[in-house]
Chain A
Amino acid sequence: MTSRVTSVPNALCRHCLLPLGRRGFVHPVNGESCQFCCYGCCIAYQVKSGSGEASEAAWLLVRLGAGGFLSMNIMLFSLLVYSGAFTGTDRRVLPTIHLLLWGLATPAVLILGEPFLRETWSQIRRGRLGSSALIVLGSLAAYSYSTLAVFRLGGYLYFDTAAMVLMLFTVGRYVEAAGRARASRDLAPLLAAESESATVVEGAEEHRRSVREVRAGMLIRVRPGERIPVDGLIVEGCSHTDDSVISGESRQIAKAVGDSVLAGSINLDGPLLIRSSGSGDQSRWAHICRSVRDALQQSSRTQRIADRWVGAFVPVVLVLAGLTLAYWSQRLPFDRAMLAALSVLVVACPCAVGLAAPMAHSLGIGQLARHGCLVRSPGALEALAVTRLIAFDKTGTLTLGSPHLVDLASDGVGEEEVLARLAGLERHSEHGLARAIALAARARGLDPIATEDVRVVPGRGLRGVVDGEVVAAGSAALMHELGWQLPPALVERADVMATSGHSVVFIGWSEKPCAGRARAVLSFDDTPLPEARATIEALRALGIRVMLLTGDHAGAAARVAATVGVEDWQAGLAPDAKRVALDQCRPRRGAVAMVGDGLNDGPGLAWADVGIAVGSATDLARETADLVLPRGGLWLLPWVVGRARAVRSSVLANLAWAFGYNLIALTCAVLGLLQPILAAAVMAGSSLLVVLNSLRLERLPGPSYPGARRSSSAARAASQPQQRLEIPHTWAESSSPRPWPEGQGFSRRIR
């Protein structure tokens, strides 16, 4: 009936939505094969889904109920025996009571112990011993000894110990599963996204189809209250949408015919007909869902250490129980010694340790995801919590990232020709300046000149070929690299432009690749984000040192740094130099984080302990960034840091409680001071405490936008998300890295 998982390695538990882990197994529920991470989840899921004629769920409840009936009776009679109700003249009924207890205990141990026995058996077959082995050993020992006592030896009976230990651990497992399921409640819509269906309108008919089958151009009907399944444009109807999963901010946005809608946002109050603009599994929403699923599959360092401890714990406990038995049996009657050893077995069961981290992590990841912030792994959250320095990239991160052309100085050529050539070259780039150039060319009515063989020179610029002539645009360093001459007049102008804090781009062309010269210099300006200053102040209030690392000129860096309130900045850094700058900070400050727009900061983000990309979900998949904030979501960063710290302290508190409790209780048990039933009861209580402590994370406040009034730009961004999505990322720094070519990988620093 129950079998181990072998085929699906990355599956999630049906009940609590957490990774199956090593204890996972498949169990049929209502004729459907379901995967569970533990026995508790199996129980809880069957209880929850117990509707209709479902015999499985009912059968489980029957078992638990019958087990409860038997063990309560055992407990009651044992309590009466202990409290001395059968003394004096009533003493002659004692043997009958003992037989009765045996008759009750035998089915109880069979019914309640079977799942634990099954688990132990499959662990033994795989050459491991888990906590269930301790429970089985403890309860079987108590049962066997008491059975012997009834029929042969006489003396005290411990049927109550056997039955109640099993019952309490079953209850404990149930509590854990219920807690885990509650913790991942936020994640449920995210994880279900791939199996969600959309109402596709085909002619007069409407069909429910899987989101994966939706292609661009299909008409989708979205009813009020439903989640919009794909990105698209509204062709009929008007409504309000809640985009909090995408933009991070819970706010109603009015939508009418012609407006774009994003997958993942919720249609609040009116029916909509949407024309899909892409396939269902390519939306940002689908990316978010996949990355959350991936994040849950990973375990953090803390959890791995805890797991290793637990693995080493079980054999040690067995030995300790043996020693306890040996020691006490020389000083006390055998049954008392056995009771002490049983307490050791029961109390050492490290149940809460396994629960400590995953629950807090899934709560944290779920809450961040609900506000559009994605985490690559729980480890990233832990690293962010201990981060004491955050380095910011400038352009597109602290600034709007949509620069505009400010000045153009040419040397012997016309402005039109410069712009037309530059526009032709930059058409092949996804760079932010490319857009500024295209806008400037279009404003002057210029057509871009067709350019071939365009190549990206990382961190320097672009080069291509027009009618056999080599064209290059980028930093002064690029011109030097090509061996091209820089006319002094242009250099002088460029210096002036750079001192006023603008981004500078040189362009040159030549028939002979090695003997060209720069023909013109252009300057671009970018405005700092309105919320940048408040964000940085909030980070500083959290005790985090903030610095600015930019590839741009010192002038531009100084201007932005002063505006947003960063005192510590380094300018003119190539991608490698950013790594060096990060490395210099690392020994002094522990973990360092780097915030960038994700496109031109790849190496820096990958090199930092925590790479934070703003608005580029694909970086998560490329392993460039550990954390991705939604577009225009820089203001969420202090909240995210606070959340990461809360999760970490919750995990540490859980572990401290779980381990600390185990150690203290173990000491008591070894000294013979703890009754096994009491030990089992407090173990169940310990699970409950860990669950409650983790669920405290639910009550922390959500993010709030700095300042009461939203800036016009942010409001615009929020109300036209589709348009904003199309804006390419910027690389406005003249000497800063250029767009990152797909093929040019960089390895992550191995920590």
Chain B
Amino acid sequence: MSYYALLFVAGIAGSFHCIGMCGGFACALGGDPRGRGATAVRHALYNTGRLTTYCFLGGLAGGLGGAIYTCLGTRSQPGVPVLSESLGAVQRGLAVIAGLLMIVMALQFFGLRNLRRLTTGFGGSTLATALRSLLRTRGHAAPLAFGVVNGFLPCPLVYAMVAQAASSLDVLSGCLTMAAFGLGTFPTMLVMGGLGRLLAPRWRQHGVRLAGGFILALGLVTLARGIVPMTAHPHHIWHFA
């Protein structure tokens, strides 16, 4: 379980990076005139929508990783222990890929700006501007829908976590990976929704660095998992279920 705790912490640390884009959305979502309770519901719905998208992406990635494993690992007989040789190879390969992706994305936070086009150039800006019209709409469906679409907006942090989820080779683990990460982003996003713009200017730069540091560390750990022999791992945390 310590693995998910780590992801949760990564979510908290990474969410300082979110202050830039998603935090802006949370601020813009603003309060509800009907009072504090309604405002809280509004933000809870927004974050639920976001979390749903993350979980979905995680589950899908995990399932995909599992499917790749089944395709490549057909040689392993049914009934063979889960951590067979072929599983190890596939999982290690995926871990290496995920780790490298995370390291590349983390480096972006430290100033490798030319990578930005690579990660945010998929038409995210058009969608983001269109989304603004959703912010002013009343009702409970709007913040939920906003959160769902928000979850799909290009974000290096999410890509890194999806890569991580893919290396878990299982729907549930992938889903939980993203859920842990998504829950980790909750505190900051809820605070952003409540405190508004007070924090943003001073914290943003530090937040981005901090997030970059954590992603880098996580990437290195994941990469190490792929490279260091399987026996070095104390537990097969991927398959606790």
The residues of A with any CB-CB pair to B shorter than 8 Å are 47-48, 50-55, 57-59, 61-66, 68-69, 72-73, 75-76, 79-80, 82-83, 85, 178
Contact = CB atoms under 8 A, between A and B. Distances in A.
A612 B170 CA distance: 63
A80 B145 contact: no
A54 B170 contact: no
A76 B130 CA distance: 27
B64 to A, nearest CB: 10
Contact of B63 (A51, A72, A83): A83
B175 interface: yes
A65 B130 contact: no
Given A68-B149, A69-B148, A62 B137 contact: yes
Contacts of A54: 133
B59 A51 contact: no
B102 interface: no
A83 B171 contact: yes
A80 B144 contact: no
A83 B168 CA distance: 13
B213 interface: no
Contacts of B144: 65-66, 69
B173 to A, nearest CB: 10
A97 to B, nearest CB: 13
B145 A61 contact: yes
Contacts of A85: 171-172, 241
A80 B131 contact: no
A61 B142 CA distance: 8
Nearest to B146: A65
Nearest to B172: A85
B77 interface: no
A72 B171 contact: no
Interface in B193-214: none
B116 interface: no
B82 interface: no
Contacts of B136: 53, 58
A178 to B, nearest CB: 8
A66 B147 CA distance: 10
- A58, A64, A80, A85 pick with most chain B CB within 10 angstroms: A58
Given A73-B52, A76-B59, A65 B134 contact: yes
Contacts of B149: 61, 64-65, 68
A80 B59 contact: yes
Contacts of A80: 59, 171-172, 175
Contact of A83 (B55, B56, B146, B170): B170
Given A79-B171, A83-B66, A61 B52 contact: no
Interface of B: 49, 52-53, 55-56, 59-60, 63, 66, 123, 126-127, 129-134, 136-137, 139, 141-142, 144-149, 170-172, 175, 241
B130 A66 contact: no
A14 to B, nearest CB: 16
A76 B175 contact: yes
Contact of A57 (B56, B133, B175): B133
Contacts of A83: 63, 66, 170-172
A52 B135 CA distance: 10
B134 A68 contact: no
Given A51-B132, A65-B144, A178-B123, 16 more contacts: A47-B130, A50-B130, A50-B132, A61-B133, A61-B146, A63-B145, A64-B149, A65-B142, A65-B147, A66-B141, A72-B55, A72-B148, A76-B55, A79-B175, A80-B171, A83-B170
Contacts of B55: 72, 76
Nearest to A71: B56
Contacts of A51: 129, 132-133
Chain A interface main SS type: helix
A537 B108 CA distance: 52
Contacts of A79: 59-60, 63, 171, 175
Contacts of A178: 123
Contact of B145 (A52, A66, A73, A82): A66
26 contacts: A53-B133, A53-B136, A57-B133, A58-B136, A58-B137, A61-B130, A61-B133, A61-B134, A62-B139, A62-B141, A64-B149, A65-B145, A69-B49, A69-B144, A69-B145, A72-B52, A76-B55, A76-B56, A79-B60, A79-B63, A79-B171, A80-B59, A80-B172, A82-B171, A83-B170, A178-B123
Rank and list the top 9 A-B pairs by shortest CB-CB distance, nearest first: A65-B145, A50-B133, A72-B56, A83-B171, A58-B137, A47-B130, A58-B133, A65-B148, A62-B145
B142 A62 contact: yes
A68 B171 contact: no
Contacts of A59: 137
A89 to B, nearest CB: 12
Contacts of B66: 83
B52 A62 contact: no
A62 B139 CA distance: 10
Contact of B130 (A48, A53, A69, A73): A48
A41 to B, nearest CB: 15
A59 B56 CA distance: 23
B137 A64 contact: no
A65 B49 contact: yes
A47 B126 CA distance: 9
Nearest to B49: A69
A54 B53 CA distance: 26
Contacts of B132: 50-51
B194 to A, nearest CB: 23
Nearest to A73: B52
A229 to B, nearest CB: 30
- B60, B132, B145, B149 pick with most chain A CB within 10 angstroms: B145
Contacts of B59: 75-76, 79-80
Contacts of A50: 130, 132-134
Given A66-B141, A69-B49, A69-B148, A58 B134 contact: yes
Contacts of B131: 61
Nearest to B126: A48
- A63, A69, A80 pick with most chain B CB within 10 angstroms: A69
Contacts of B145: 61-66, 68-69
A80 B58 CA distance: 12
- A63, A66, A79 pick with most chain B CB within 10 angstroms: A79
- A52, A53, A57, A62 pick with most chain B CB within 10 angstroms: A62
A83 B61 CA distance: 13
Nearest to A90: B241
Contacts of B127: 47
A566 B53 CA distance: 66
A61 B145 CA distance: 7
B181 to A, nearest CB: 15
Contacts of B126: 47-48
A303 B66 CA distance: 42
B127 to A, nearest CB: 7
Contacts of B148: 65-66, 68-69, 72
Nearest to A75: B56
Contacts of B142: 58, 62, 65
A80 B59 CA distance: 8
A166 to B, nearest CB: 15
B134 A62 contact: yes
A58 B129 CA distance: 12
A178 B53 CA distance: 23
Contacts of B146: 61, 65
Contacts of A47: 126-127, 130
Given A61-B145, A62-B141, A79-B59, A52 B171 contact: no
A72 B55 CA distance: 9
Contacts of A64: 145, 149
B134 A52 contact: no
Contacts of A72: 52-53, 55-56, 148
A470 B232 CA distance: 112
Contacts of B141: 62, 65-66
Contacts of A55: 137
A178 B144 CA distance: 25
